[in-house]
Amino acid sequence: MPKVIYAEQNGTTHQIELPDGVSVMQGALDHGVPGIDGDCGGECACGTCHVYVDSPWLDRLDAIGDAEASMLSFADGAKPNSRLACQIKMSRELDGLVVALPEAQH
């Protein structure tokens, strides 16, 4: 199974194996990774699963859709590498993906 590495602001990391097709958000919720709330349940409607994708992985992700771009426009601390974890589905191509968690979700 592909692995994702979640990096907290304090330097703590969580390496978790996720089946293909499971979102990075759902993986965090299922494994108790702090810092991802997922208030809307993965419907791309709240922005509380905001993450920073490590730059080598950005080109491997699907393009940002209109709904995700809209949610990110309201995210505190949004950067060019910001994505919503609910919109990133794990696959073999993403094995080793690294995402950093923002200081807080809003």
CATH of the domain at 15: 3.10.20.30
Write the pLDDT tens digit of every residue in 26-79: 999 999 999 999 999 999 999 999 999 999 999 999 999 999 999 999 998 999
Task: Please give the residue range of the domain that contains residue 36.
Answer: 3-100
Is 67 within the bounds of a domain? yes
Is 105 within the bounds of a domain? no
Q: According to the model, what pLDDT value does residue 45 have?
A: 93
Is 86 within the bounds of a domain? yes
* Contact assessment for residue 53 and residue 45, using Cβ atoms and an 8 Å cutoff: no
Which pTM does this prediction carry?
Answer: 0.95
Is 91 within the bounds of a domain? yes
Whether 106 shows a pLDDT value over 80: the answer reads no
Radius of gyration (C-alpha) of the chain in whole angstroms:
12
Is 26 within the bounds of a domain? yes
Model confidence at 105, pLDDT cuts 50, 70, 90, reads confident
- The average pLDDT across 16-20 equals 98
Is 51 within the bounds of a domain? yes
Is 106 within the bounds of a domain? no
Is 41 within the bounds of a domain? yes
Q: How many domains does the chain have?
A: 1
